[in-house]
Chain A
């Protein structure tokens, strides 16, 4: 009898654990359905008031939910609060998760394998799209696609629209105008690479007397090396494409690599740091040097505006100038402007989640709250019809340059064959910085030219 009892007890234990598991499952699914019904109810009740208050904004009717895997750590806070206000307004649950800097692809890959995969994610351009083309929903008929100011901001594959650019950014050399004036110059003196070089070298020559250097450290740590292996490398690629009249290439020739070398030499030999130590310098190091007013020039993009502004800089003290490398019509060169942020919708999500996601995207770029948040809190210029002007100084400057008739440099780095190629170039730049010999520069050329072909062939 005792035995029987104990067996019975064990069986109950086991079955209860099993039940516990299954009841957990139902527990986790209940809030979702509740939220969905709530959302439906809210949508219905709010529709009337919505229309009355804000005739432009459409009241989303979807009952699904949105899971956005965000690429930009600096905009995480703003996205979280925007998602919250969307949920308050419509009742549709929006989860925003931000991947750590440099880990987007990795995070995306593991998140995509989950049963609750992101419904909204992003790719960085044609090369990034190749990896995810099978899971991208065709946005051809979506409302947001029709909101785009130009068709060139859509990422297409054949006839289908798989990605929508949601932010246009610019980068160049950020200048501390106060320090530049202390050195006896103004930004009007810099109109070409030769000007930049003579000013930078003059500052270096007097740096102990002035108390600051020309450039912030060109850090080659993983948190900073993209500024040079990707963004700076864009310039020789852009001019080569221009020269050859192409938009991408299976094999780069390296026509302007000597100019790339010149600007790289200028960066590393006129900076706050010993070139030998660059491999351990981080992106934060570089920003902090600029904030501490230890250097005049800092190569970075419009996304830095908020941190510089919060760091105590006023708009009068800052300016962004084009990165001159001594090629083409420099008098007519603008900032490097483009995008590597394309929204894609996961077509394997549930239909109601896809609908909710499309509504959310459209709301972000058309509603007052959404456009204001994107312009102010995130500092974005968005390529949509209802966009609000951004207070971001660098973005305004880009518009200014374009109005003056300068040609922005396109973001050709989205055609770079792979991350591996960028890493190869970064590694070679590090080696060259530590020991500036011709042999080591030849290493950069090899990584740039031969590496491009190798990686392109591997990917195609």
Chain B
């Protein structure tokens, strides 16, 4: 059996490879090629070299979106992970109703981003109008905070589930040993539990970081980039460059931005993976 598997694996792989090529490799290659072209529809592209990239990088709005995205990513990664971890710690204690609470916390994750965005827009606008502050369309600070609240609300439940799984896999013997050695609860947490769930933390950090960087639906629905593109994140900026602008020069530029965006996300995630991997310990 094993010998024949070794011999015929390409046949078993074929369907997936074909799907991967059609669904990913070809569009990606075409997208890469288009970033060097001027075009209105993808069928009439004309090669123009790296002009698109020069225009994309010199676009001040793109830079501003990058910084906004970076600030957002840092805040949301920290807040989501810290809160999710605390909730996970609480829900791994044994008490009545803890399964119900897990479900409750997980629920927001099942609602789509666009819907959530509009619901929170109404909620936040209500609050802002009650306290007499400018509404979301004019208030970039509220937009930023609103985005973080929205993302926390949506993502904490999901990350919490992963953390609960991680915390449950910490061997009881280790915790017992630390108790016998006279460690306080805090000491057990920082010296035993956290080092043991480091792989889980890596995964959650990776997920939240890439999610925050690639955020689109929530951004579009909640603020739409208002006011004056001040809350426009990278993905929305690319979308607006490509679609909201009339004229051939913008399409290629949007495409070039998308390629730059891809490289940034890849670099970020690798750096982050490497950093957290280094702090993982082997059991």
Contact = CB atoms under 8 A, between A and B. Distances in A.
Interface of B is mostly: helix
A112 B42 CA distance: 9
B129 interface: yes
A420 B129 CA distance: 28
B224 interface: yes
Interface stretch (B85-93, B99-107, B134-142, B264-272): B134-142
B14 interface: yes
A82 B224 CA distance: 36
Which size class do A's interface residues fall under?
35 or more
Interface string A1-25: 0010001001100100100000000
Interface string A97-135: 000000001100100110001000000000110111011
Contacts of B244: 105-106, 419-420
Contact of B138 (A17, A117, A418, A434): A434
A14 B8 CA distance: 14
A130 B228 CA distance: 25
Given A277-B129, A279-B135, A279-B138, A431 B224 contact: no
A424 B228 contact: yes
Contacts of A117: 41
Interface string A420-438: 1000100100110011000
A459 interface: yes
A420 B245 contact: yes
A431 B138 contact: yes
A279 B134 CA distance: 9
B248 interface: yes
B226 A427 contact: yes
Contact of B129 (A10, A112, A222, A276): A276
B246 A135 contact: no
Contacts of B42: 113
Given A109-B41, A424-B228, A127 B246 contact: yes
Given A127-B246, A420-B245, A222 B134 contact: no
A105 B246 CA distance: 8
Interface in A126-158: 127-128, 130-132, 134-135
Nearest to A124: B246
A135 B247 CA distance: 13
B41 A276 contact: no
Contacts of A279: 135-138
Contact of B246 (A131, A424, A434): A131
A131 B40 contact: yes
Contacts of B14: 14
B40 A134 contact: yes
B134 A106 contact: no
A127 B8 CA distance: 59
B111 interface: no
A319 B157 CA distance: 56
B61 to A, nearest CB: 10
B226 A459 contact: no
Contacts of A128: 246
Given A127-B246, A131-B246, A222 B41 contact: no
A14 B224 CA distance: 45
Interface in B106-148: 125, 129, 134-138
A135 B41 contact: yes
A135 B41 CA distance: 10
A459 B249 CA distance: 9
B134 A435 contact: yes
Given A128-B246, A131-B40, A434-B135, 17 more contacts: A3-B4, A106-B244, A127-B246, A130-B247, A131-B247, A276-B134, A276-B135, A279-B138, A418-B245, A419-B244, A419-B246, A420-B245, A427-B227, A427-B228, A430-B137, A430-B138, A459-B246
Interface of A: 3, 7, 10-11, 14, 17, 105-106, 109, 112-113, 117, 127-128, 130-132, 134-135, 220, 222, 276-277, 279-280, 348, 418-420, 424, 427, 430-431, 434-435, 459
21 contacts: A10-B11, A105-B243, A112-B41, A113-B43, A117-B41, A131-B40, A131-B247, A276-B129, A276-B135, A279-B137, A280-B135, A280-B137, A419-B244, A419-B246, A420-B245, A427-B226, A430-B137, A431-B138, A431-B227, A434-B135, A459-B246
List 8 tightest A-B contacts by C-beta distance, closest first. A279-B137, A131-B246, A112-B41, A106-B243, A113-B41, A113-B42, A279-B135, A427-B228
